[in-house]
Structure 1
Amino acid sequence: MMLSKTSKRNIALFAAAFILCGVLHVILWGVDFTYTFSQLFMSILTLLWVLTVQKRVTDARLRKLLLWIAVLMILFYVLQIMKYRLFYGFTSVQRYLWYAYYIPVMAISLLCFYLALYIYRPKEKPLPAVSYLPIVIGVLLALGVLTNDLHFLAFHFPSGILSDGVGHRNGPLFFLFAFGFLVLFILSYWIILRKCRRTIRGKLRFLPVLPLIAETVYCVLYLLDTAPRVNGIILWNGGEFFGFCMIAFLEACIIVGMIPANKNYEKLFFATRLPAVILDSKGSVVYQTAETEYPFPESDDVKVMRHPISGGSAEWMVDLKQVRSLNQQLEDATAQMEARNAYLAEENRIKQEKAEVETRSRLYDRISGLLKPKLDQIEALLDSPEGDPDRQLAKAAVLTAYIKRRSNLELLIAERLDVDELTAAVAESLEYMRLCGVNTAVSSFGAGTFPSEMVIAAYEHIEAIAEESLDTLSDMIVTVRAEGKELIVRMMLKADDFVYAANGQWHDGSSFSRKVVITKDKQDMMILLTFTEGGEQS
């Protein structure tokens, strides 16, 4: 992992600003209104850093912790400014401001501890309940320092005079507070450095160690009163150096990738294959992608796009030749698909017509086969030299009516037929029977649909009975009744010398059963045809 230009620049600017803080602290020493200049400078520097954190860090949990750490560091500096400048001379106020130092100090150590725990921790995996115990301890220790005037366990004053920190001695609560503070920071650094060693490769994995070493060395020097001085004036107070090292340590975690952040944009932009540049407000190139020639050539096949951005603009080149080529390919593919779709549609139409023709042919062949005996009878009647021609022609008309109606029932191609279709077929057949001198009548009761083969069988029975007795038949009345699953045909005939041998019951394994009952009294005859749907015996 290599440091980007932006990271190097930020590190250099931050280090230069901190050195400038130490130099100005020495230069402005003793100048009016500048006694707390270093705290003010570090507050501004921390604020500028946290503003970049707000934009860069992508993990909401870590970003929130970093923001609060920065806010507490600024609060620490502000409390110092208030104590040493704004309320200078107000001993009681200065003492409580001094006590208040320990609130941000403890809070920063707690936030760093939880920051270390949340690094690389999945969002859906919460912290264990025991990890919140340091918050309770930290709050109790901070409250103990704030209430020192009640028990003097943190600080006590041998002179008996409550001061703002001059002439005091540290009590057991202070050492307990310092121990908790150090333990939290040591744990935080240890957890982060341990995770860094496991996940980060290369020389940059040692980057977070450098601020820790600097802070440790300066702390030892500061406690031994041997910190760097110029003309007897210390360069940085302990609080400012601690704040600088804290920011440097957190920034190092961002740079090495332990804290997810938006970075290395220039590398990503350079690796982009799209011809593009980023210009400053003066039009100078700041960044450009690989193999980009600027200014872009302008032609009919090239279009230069521009878009304003903060501090300048972005320009990129669009190769219209590729776009036009793709559009042409798309048009060709569309035309091919349309032609293929038209071909498939025509092929399907031809197949459908062919299937319809084949179906009609099979149907006509079936009808021809079924009605061929009737056609042969008509031909025999018309060709026979014997008998009355008018009588023969009337019989042929009856057969023709049957052929017509039987064909219609077959052409309906339906699984079920309405009882009205049977009534209409019987009515037409009886009408032609009148040409043979037969008095006929037909009536219908009820409504419903029945299997087509059942309706056709009923019509064939009626036709067979009529044809068998046509020569001696004088009267014929047909009644059709639909009752549930039963289709009942009642025929009343008057004929001489009529014999019908179909008195009985049949079930041919089809979807219905048939039953014929004949009652005869001299010339009067009643035939009852019962057709039951479902093939049940009746």
Structure 2
Amino acid sequence: MKKRIARSSVLHIILIITAIAAAMLCRQLDRIGTMQIFGIIRSLIYIFMFLIWGITLRNRIVQIQAKRFMTSIAGLIVFWVAIRSVKFVIAQSPFAVRMLWYMYYIPMIFIPMFALLVALSLGKPENYRLPGVTSLLYVASVLMVIFVLTNDLHCLVFRFPGEREMWDDRDYSYAGGYYIVAGYMLLCTIGAFVTLISKCRIPKARKTFIMPLLPVVAMVIYTLLYVSGEITGGTFIHRLAGDMTVTVSLLTALSFEFCIQCGLIRSNTYYIQLLRPCTVPALITDNDYNILLSSDCAEKIDREIMQMAKSSPVMLSSGKRLSSAKIKGGYVLWLDDLSELIEVNDKLAEAKDDLKDDYDLICEEYDLRNREAHILERDRIYDRISRETSGQIAVLNSLTDRFELSEDEDERRKLLGKMVVIGAYLKRRNNLIFISERSSMISEKELYLAFLELTDNLELYGVTCGLNIRLNKSVPAVAVMEMFDTFEKMIELSLDNLSAVNISVTLNGGIFTMTVTAESGTDFNVMNGDFVTAVCDDDGEWQIVYRREAERCKA
């Protein structure tokens, strides 16, 4: 493939050199002869050559805006060569010659500007549009062109001796405005090249940018020599490249070609040669699925199968997948060998089934262990309930037996009242146990509800009750259990002769205090202990006080 590309490139270079050599020969014949036909042929050769170059740019450049700018550059070069030919072949009056000479600066100003726009467009998506601020370059270029074309009115670009009717492009000097125009062109040229190099992402491309730079440097040196008058008739440079229009145009085209060949400007050159040795089986067809191009390793595929791949990829029997994508004027199709992937996928499917079976077994084992743990936890809580309320359960069983054996209605009513009070205690005590299993702290509301239900049942039994709880915070479960058990023990001792009771629970100075005031003939001194104090006043009213520090309860 590389040899074919090399042969094609050599052929193009030979044709270009031959055309330039023929044009140079025509120039020499035109200089020594009297026939203008050689000058016309020379101009036509260059015009035709630059037209062909512009057409190839439209076919090669990928980025749409860069393509338009480079095509415009080719058109400006053709325009430059054309007006140069008209100036030397057709124009007769000094004014016409001078105006055609001024018009040289239309391409001379716009070509560097378009080169800068080309550089700014590179590296962008195909449909990218430059921002509006770049339109200032158009404004500046148009002003520069108007400045040159109106030189006869102000002579700020070129100065001429003698009368205006005799002004000639062979006898003039540069004014200050010329250097402004030349500086603008030079800045655009330098800006274009610097932008082009800075945007390049090709590995080691900065080492190869010397090739596009050489024509630019040669152009600058040539222009400086031409402006300074060093290139005059009789010198070797004048005989070889005395025509500034053609020389600058060729160097401009050469610089852009070097940029394309070095990869600084993206093109689709040699895509056909690159497709054939491609290791991916690929086909390019027209809209009717007639094969136009294919890689050497591509297989023959029926048209019906290619049409099926239009909507979605098609799996072939050989384990290959045919995919399709729409392109301009047809379709591109390619094959992916998925045989190894299919084999791996089958193994993964088997492994998935095995893992699913293992997962199901693990889930069943987990459920079994979870049920066992739930049963064990439930048994533990039930054991705790049975252990902590065994005394009250025994009392309740005893009351139940007495209730069943008794025939006295008054006694049965009292026994039933006691059973209701003990039952309310057991219900609320068990509820507090369940809450304490979830949290070490019990809310004030739960404490209040526990005492409220017990006092409500006491009032049904005939005991006058009062309840006052002021905490405004949660209470350690240990303290709640102890307070509730203390109150229940007091009831159990005095229920037969208890007439009134008042409960007050407070928190002062970090100490939980429960004060139970009871009117009863029972001696409560048996309740005295570490946290409980029972005292009887002169009126026979008992105060049972429970005190415990909050921090010790938490510990």
Instruction: Please state which band the TM-score falls in when normalised by the shorter chain.
Output: 0.5 to 0.7
> 1:199-210 residue pairs with structure 2 within 5 A?
199=204
| Structure 1 residues 251 and 287, CA gap change in structure 2 (3 angstroms) | farther
Q: C-alpha separation between the residues in 2 aligned to 1:504 and 1:14?
A: 117
Distance (Å, rounded) in 2 between the aligned partners of 1:31 and 1:266: 39
Aligned to 2:482: 457
1:164 deviates by 5.7
In the alignment, is the contact (CA less than 8 A) between 1:113 and 1:184 conserved in 2?
no
The separation in 1 between residues aligned to 2:328 and 2:11, in whole angstroms, is: 23
Alignment match of 1:44 (pick from 38, 41, 51): 51
What is the one-letter code of the residue matched to 1:104? P
Instruction: Decide which of 95, 98, 103 is 1:95's aligned counterpart.
Output: 98
Counterparts of 1:177 and 1:324 in 2: how far apart (Å)?
Answer: 71
Shift of 1:288: 0.4
CA contact (8 A) 2:428 2:450 kept: no
Name the SS of the counterpart of 1:274 in structure 2. coil
Q: Is the 8 A contact 2:323 2:334 kept in 1?
A: yes
- Distance between the aligned counterparts of 2:322 and 2:117, measured in 1? 50
**Cross-structure match for 1:492:** 518
How far did residue 411 of structure 1 move?
Answer: 2.7
Name the SS of the counterpart of 2:317 in structure 1.
Answer: coil
Higher relative contact order (CA 8 A, sep 6+): 1
1:162 aligns with 2:161: no
In structure 2, what is the Cα distance between the partners aligned to 1:286 and 1:49?
21
> Which residue of structure 2 aligns with residue 288 of structure 1?
295
Q: CA deviation at 1:461?
A: 1.2
Q: For residues 66 and 285 of structure 1, do their structure 2 counterparts lie closer, same or farther at Cα, with a shift above 3 Å needed?
A: closer
1:422 to 451, 459, 471: 451
Aligned to 1:354: 372
Secondary structure, aligned partner of 1:492: strand
- Structural mapping, 1:371-450, within 5 Å: 371-373=389-391, 394=415, 397=419, 402-403=425-426, 405-412=428-435, 413=437, 414=439, 415-417=441-443, 418=446, 419-428=448-457, 439-442=462-465, 444=467, 450=474
Would the alpha carbon gap of residues 75 and 206 (structure 1) be closer, same or farther in structure 2, given more than 3 Å must change? Answer: closer
Contact 2:98 2:168 in 1 (8 A): yes
Give the CA deviation at 1:98: 0.9
Instruction: Mark the CA change 1:172 to 1:244 in structure 2 (over 3 Å): closer, same or farther.
Output: closer
Separation (CA, whole Å) in 2 of partners of 1:406 and 1:200: 86
Contact 2:516/2:545, CA 8 A, preserved across alignment:
yes
Name the structure with the higher helix share: 2
Distance 2:368 2:331 in 1: 63
Asked if structure 2 preserves the Cα contact closer than 8 Å seen for 1:212 and 1:249, the reply is: no
User: Judging changes above 3 Å, is the alpha-carbon distance between structure 1 residues 357 and 74 closer, same or farther for their aligned structure 2 residues?
Assistant: farther
- In 2, the alpha carbon distance for the partners of 1:501 and 1:45 equals 122
CA deviation string 1:37-86 (max 9, x = no partner): 456435523532443564259xx8x889856754653553464467568x
Distance 2:325 2:392 in 1: 91
1:334 and 1:56, CA in 2 relative to 1: closer, same or farther beyond 3 A? same
Superposed counterparts of 1:141-180, under 5 Å:
143=147, 147=151, 150-151=154-155, 154=158, 156=160, 161-162=165-166, 165=169, 168-173=170-175
- Which whole-Å CA distance do the structure 1 matches of 2:507 and 2:5 have between them? 92
> Matches of residues 73-112 of structure 1 in structure 2 within 5 Å?
73-77=77-81, 79-80=83-84, 83=87, 88=91, 91-105=94-108, 108=111
Asked if structure 1 preserves the Cα contact closer than 8 Å seen for 2:277 and 2:295, the reply is: no
Change (3 A) 1:303 1:483: same
CA separation of 1:476 and 1:163: change in aligned 2, threshold 3 A: same
User: 1:55 and 2:62 equivalent?
Assistant: yes
1:277 to 275, 280, 283: 283
* Paired letter, 1:410: I
Residue in structure 2 matching 1:242, options 248, 262, 269: 248
Identify the match of residue 520 of structure 1 among 523, 537, 549: 537
Post-superposition Cα deviations, 1:414-439, rounded to whole Å, max 9, x if no partner, equal: 531511123224545776xx5xxxx4
- Distance in 2 separating the partners of 1:56 and 1:505: 94
Post-superposition offset of 1:409:
2.6
Q: Supply the distance in 1 between the matched residues of 2:103 and 2:115 (Cα, whole angstroms).
A: 19
On the 8 A contact 2:155/2:175 being kept in 1, the answer is: no
Cα shift at 1:464: 1.6
Q: Give, as a single letter, the amino acid of the residue that structure 2 aligns with 1:349.
A: D
2:379 and 2:38 mapped to 1: Cα distance?
A: 118
Q: 1:39, 1:268 → 2: CA distance? A: 32
Deviation at 1:459, TM superposition (A): 1.8
Q: SS at the partner of 1:169? A: coil
Whether the 8 Å CA contact 2:156–2:178 is kept in 1: the answer is no
Structure 1 stretch 474-483 or stretch 279-288: which is displaced more?
A: 279-288
Matched, 1:467 2:466: no
2:41 and 2:480 mapped to 1: Cα distance?
116
8 Å contact from structure 2 (residues 156, 177) kept in 1: no
Paired residues of 2:43 and 2:81 also in contact (CA < 8 A): no
Letter in 2 for 1:493: E
Tell me what 1:124 maps to: none
Identity %: 16
SS at 2:537's partner residue? strand
Taking a change above 3 Å as real, the CA distance of residues 153 and 44 of structure 1, as seen in their structure-2 partners, is closer
The whole-number CA distance in structure 1 between the counterparts of 2:395 and 2:178 is 127
1:260-286 deviations in whole A, cap 9, x for unaligned?
556664576457543223357995664
Alignment partners' CA distance in 2, 1:450 and 1:213: 93
Quote how far apart the aligned CAs of 1:177 are. 6.0
Structure 1 residue 460: Cα displacement? 0.9
* TM-score after normalising by structure 1: 0.63
d(CA) in 2 for partners of 1:460, 1:96: 119
What does 1:181-196 correspond to in 2, within 5 Å?
none
- Larger mean Cα displacement after TM superposition, 69-78 or 110-119: 110-119
Distance 1:3 1:206 in 2: 21
Residue 255 of structure 1 is matched in structure 2 by: 261
Taking a change above 3 Å as real, the CA distance of residues 534 and 359 of structure 1, as seen in their structure-2 partners, is: same
- Residues in 2 aligned to 1:383 and 1:295: alpha-carbon distance in whole angstroms: 97
Instruction: Give 2:384's aligned amino acid.
Output: R
Partner SS for 2:261? helix
Aligned in 2, Cα 1:284/1:10: closer, same or farther, shift over 3 Å?
farther
What letter corresponds to residue 520 of structure 1 in structure 2? D
Structure 1 spans left out of the alignment, 5+ residues: 121-135, 507-514
Question: In structure 1, what residue type is equivalent to 2:77?
Answer: M
> 2 CA distance for matches of 1:107 and 1:479?
106
Residue 56 to residue 7, structure 1, CA distance change in 2 (3 Å): farther
The aligned counterpart of 1:476 is 499
What RMSD over aligned residues (CA atoms) do the two structures have, in Å? 6.3
**Matches of 2:504 and 2:75 in 1, distance apart?**
98
Deviation at 1:518, TM superposition (A): 4.0
Look up the equivalent residue of 2:520 and give its one-letter code. K
* Among candidates 343, 361, 368, match of residue 386 of structure 2: 368
Question: 5+ residue gaps in structure 2?
Answer: 30-34, 124-139, 306-315
Q: Alpha-carbon deviation of 1:250? A: 1.9
